[in-house]
Structure 1
Amino acid sequence: MEQIDFGPTQTELATVNEVFIDALKPWWDELEGYIPPMAEEMSYRAIPALVINAYHYLGLSRELGIKMANMFKTIYFATRIHEMIGDDEEGQEHTQELQFTILIGDYIFGRVLKLLLETNTEQLLDMFAAMICAINEGLIVKYKSVRSLEEIVAVTRAPFYSYAFRSAAQLKGFEAEDGEAYGKLGHNLGMALELLDAGHLNEAADYLVKARAWLDGQNDQVLPGRVDAMGLIQEIQRDLRR
């Protein structure tokens, strides 16, 4: 997949990375080694960018968007650390290193709860708990059953995007039904990006059609960043045609 212009400036994403490192500073020397392989993953780059977009589209502050992008990046980081743990069938040895990996992943999840308090967004606690639960259930599905790639992406990666948009809607004061609809926009954008990255172009295009159809029904009063959202869809569509 070509490099997509997700919208947020490099300055904003660099700030997210600074906040991310600072929040994990007590254990950064031990954690830094996990970063290089993840940095090559599209999800690691796209999730923070889409979170910032989700908040920007609703006219929420840049500062809040950056803080929330850090939270979602942190959850993704912890999830990927846990994914690195194999099982007995894969020859995973029960070593001190394994124990550390499990504990450090749990520690990072705990940091997210603290970040919610530090950013005065504790009203999102139930939502974040539901998201983490959904992602963990999705990983069980991924490794313990035979599913299509689209189904696996829907339960392991799409929740990051849908809950990013739902959290923005809740902080904006949307009614529950409207928040669910905005979350669906995040789901469709996330599915399109993940499937495009995996080379499933037709399926990715289908999700873009759904995202655009919803945006066509919105106005600039409800969604101040509607034009920018349309721009992102067009950017992804251009990548599909390359």
Structure 2
Amino acid sequence: MVGRIFTAMSAIAMVALSASPAAAQLYSYETPSGEVLITSERHPEYKLLEVLSEGPSSRRQARASSGTSASSSSTQASEEDAPEVSRAREQARRGLPGSFSEREAYFDDLIEEAALAYDLPFGFIKAVIRVESAFQPHVVSHAGAMGLMQLMPRTAESLGVTNAFDARQNVFGGAKFLRILIERYDGDINLILAAYNAGDVAVRRYDGIPYPQTREYVASVYYWYQIYSAQAETP
């Protein structure tokens, strides 16, 4: 069942991707009926979507997420951090590779464990981590989301995560939450990711993907999901 959890992709996920992350670009456009579609086809009237390559950009860092998770992350400890939080963040930072390319592979064994435990595609979890935190277990967003999978405090608590800066707890907690959302939204990858990013309330209020930032988030995660899945299948 791993890798077959999603129903047929709805409009936003119908993307033709090239084999190279650097070569593929995603664009959005609105149909006469108001439906927002995502495509790799270039057109003067289409809007280029931001696809992350080295983790959160400065624009995303400056923009806090209002929902369940946050893809805008701060790598600096806040002055408001409690001593125990500062210690947990520092512990998470120790031994972490300095370069992005090294961090990108650093948690693969852990991600594989979580994927097997919750019957999720390895590439799906890894794509969420890339877009959420750029593989940095100590980051905290301006909205308060924590760790590799950027769990909000209340969400982390509900998932039994006692230390969101512990990589294992965070990844397993985030994978568990994705599994919950998969069941809740009947495998629709668009709604699963929208709820992870913007929260259930927003998805239900808008009856779909709620915000432009969330559309970018869904497209970015889906993009890297395809890339990581292809890499995992390569001998």
TM-score computed with the length of structure 1 as normaliser: 0.28
| Structure whose residues are more often strand by fraction | 2
Higher RCO (C-alpha under 8 Å, 6+ residues apart): 2
Larger Rg: 1
